[in-house]
Amino acid sequence: MREDKTTTDTELALLYSAVKNAFREAHLTTPDLDARLLVTETLGVSTAQLIANPRRVIPGHLAHEVEQRARARLAGQSIGRILGRRAFWSLDLRISPDTLEPRPETETVVELALSVIGPDDAALVADLGVGTGAILLAILSERLNAFGVGVDVSMAALSQAARNAERHNLDSRTVYVAGNFGEALAPVFDVVVSNPPYIATDRIPQLEATVRNYDPHVALDGGEDGLNCYRVVFRQARSMLKKGGRLIVEIDPAAEQAVVAEAQQHGLIDVVTANDLTGRPRALSLQLSDDNMQTGYKSS
């Protein structure tokens, strides 16, 4: 990639090739896809235009912006972070430095939640650690009578989730609460979902730069063994779930047994495991045993 700041006008295909080649030479995992997204999104052209109109002239200032963004990608930022948006489920979500970039494997949590919420159910759903709103908004986009509460410890993340809800016309069916997971909730929820921080603290420095340097650490750090947030959420289950309600959590595949053991210690039974697209266990659906249900809840 050229280093000059005053990029001259260039042709679309030449610019695209330069970015693609730079990404290939740097051995990015998906160089062609990254180059295509970066070029089309930055220039506001479609993939069809990229192919059909290769000689289109790109003004120097736009070519310069593409080159700057390509350099950010080569320095370790993900395409989502650079563009400030990420596709999740059927939604186009805005992300910010305060939110985790949603991951495709998290769609496993959505699938599991949809498997227990009927198409017309007026289900009450809580998402603990809502971030961009990815899980909650995906569920509400599929279940038109459901209502959702998004919780996060980060006010900036809550604002981002609220903005994403508005963009997808889901704001009238969501509210947002700042707090420590479910501490402020009452036992009225049909489904509680959570993708809590679950990386063991001492593993964070070993994560790839795209994650380590750009995802907020409050969204990653699960404490010494990575299980701290599960312990909090499992302890809170009886004060969030209504009778028959389900708690659905994302897990690190390697931690499946440890998370199930923690869940069982907190009276959560009837474990259903769902695999992600790579075939690895990625989400657990749990239910409180009858003798662990909270009784005598007063709504005042």
Ligand X SMILES: C[S@@+](CC[C@H](N)C(=O)[O-])C[C@H]1O[C@@H](n2cnc3c(N)ncnc32)[C@H](O)[C@@H]1O
Please name which of 192, 247, 250, 191 lies closest in space to residue 226, comparing C-alpha atoms: 250
- Binding residue count for ligand X, defined by CB under 6 A: 22
Q: Which stretch binds ligand X (CB under 6 A): 22-30, 31-39, 130-138, 282-290?
A: 130-138
Task: State the pairing for strand pair 189-194/241-250.
Answer: parallel
Interaction between residue 184 and ligand X (CB under 6 A): no
| Contact indicator for 98, 216 with CB cutoff of 8 Å | yes
Interaction between residue 154 and ligand X (CB under 6 A): yes
Interaction between residue 78 and ligand X (CB under 6 A): no
Q: Which stretch binds ligand X (CB under 6 A): 11-19, 44-52, 194-202, 256-264?
A: 194-202
Least distance in Å: CB of 283 to ligand X?
11
Interaction between residue 151 and ligand X (CB under 6 A): yes
Please name which of 154, 157, 254 lies closest in space to residue 203, comparing C-alpha atoms: 254
Least distance in Å: CB of 293 to ligand X?
23
Interaction between residue 259 and ligand X (CB under 6 A): no
Q: How far apart are CA 186 and CA 164, in angstroms?
A: 25
Q: What is the widest separation between alpha-carbon atoms in the chain?
A: 72
Least distance in Å: CB of 242 to ligand X?
21
Q: Which amino acid is at 8?
A: T
Strands, E, within the chain: which ranges?
A: 10-11, 57-58, 85-88, 91-94, 124-128, 147-152, 174-178, 189-194, 241-250, 268-275, 281-288
Which of 16, 89, 181, 234 is the binder for ligand X (CB under 6 A)? 181
197-236 residues in contact with ligand X (CB under 6 A) are 197, 218-219
Interaction between residue 192 and ligand X (CB under 6 A): no
Which of 40, 180, 239, 273 is the binder for ligand X (CB under 6 A)? 180
Interaction between residue 164 and ligand X (CB under 6 A): no
Q: How far apart are CA 251 and CA 216, in angstroms?
A: 18
DSSP structure class, residue 292: G
Least distance in Å: CB of 99 to ligand X?
6
Interaction between residue 12 and ligand X (CB under 6 A): no
Pick 157 or 162: Cβ nearer ligand X: 157
Between the alpha carbon of residue 262 and those of residues 61, 128, 258, the distances in Å are: 55, 18, 6
Q: How far apart are CA 263 and CA 294, in angstroms?
A: 16
Radius of gyration of the chain (CA): 22
Pick 7 or 132: Cβ nearer ligand X: 132
Interaction between residue 272 and ligand X (CB under 6 A): no
Q: How far apart are CA 23 and CA 218, in angstroms?
A: 30
Q: Which stretch binds ligand X (CB under 6 A): 30-38, 147-155, 162-170, 270-278?
A: 147-155
Residues that bind ligand X (CB under 6 A): 100, 102, 106, 128-132, 134-135, 151-154, 157, 180-181, 195-197, 218-219
